[in-house]
Structure 1
């Protein structure tokens, strides 16, 4: 089997977060400078989306070429970005792209919740290599993550419906990543409690 070398952390971070930063920069570049094409005026949000979608596709293709795989969550995100980003561009309507995070988080929550009902914490299959943990820990983490994804979906719907494009773009670019990192940082006691090393100590 062809074993690929791990991607350098800086390069992986650039591929993961670079497209989002490109979207952020493009939005503020075109926010007050709409562009007219074929008689249709396109605002900063749709123009930024039109730039973001192909940049994300290239970044995911590069990540796949370097690692030989994409996580299921990355694939689902890419598909929804292409579909809903394409709809926003085609109909010149930012609402499709703004709804995309809501659908992603509800999809993840639904899939993880369905796995729990079947007695299979599917999150373990995706992240076990990154976070070694006993099965009981994975059940607890999955339940918490389902609730957290539902919270993020509600937060996204609230912000895009009640606030300006600028507020939503800032929330999408910085708020959501910070919330996700904060969630996993807050699970440190859980990781420690159910780590394989901790289990060996108790034995």
Structure 2
């Protein structure tokens, strides 16, 4: 069985989309893939309750309880490794991971970013797209590397930027596409093998 460990910090809507896709498409039965655990750095993360209701093991590691970022990431890496992960999925995990953590799970660590990378790395992506006069925006599933938001791209979805858009309305439409492409990219990554040839798949809303 290929285990997925999902890291969250908040409501976990992308985590929920992944879990629902795994249930509806029978990842365990058809592909030998299961969601093994959901971990969070916040005890009040809303997504934890969703995971518990689905019978998925959860764990909280409060980053504020550790003396340094390195100490927290060391503890987090051990907690993740306890589930023997084939893949570690960042789903709204609001921590910048240390190079040591990223190196430990290199090739097995995915993230989704709310822009069409390589455009608009970092924060405030939707307002920056609007301010730049972009006609389209979107989201990107990518492998995580030590450099922020520049890892190999696995899948993207394109969303039009409407004349009446605010950052909030654009973010809501992009999030809908995140829920579509993240589960799909995860399944393809594990089913086809991380070492094989990767094809960029781009969808439009």
Q: Fold-level match, TM-score > 0.5?
A: no
Q: TM-score, normalised by structure 1?
A: 0.29
Q: TM-score, normalised by structure 2?
A: 0.29
Structure that is richer in strand per residue: 2
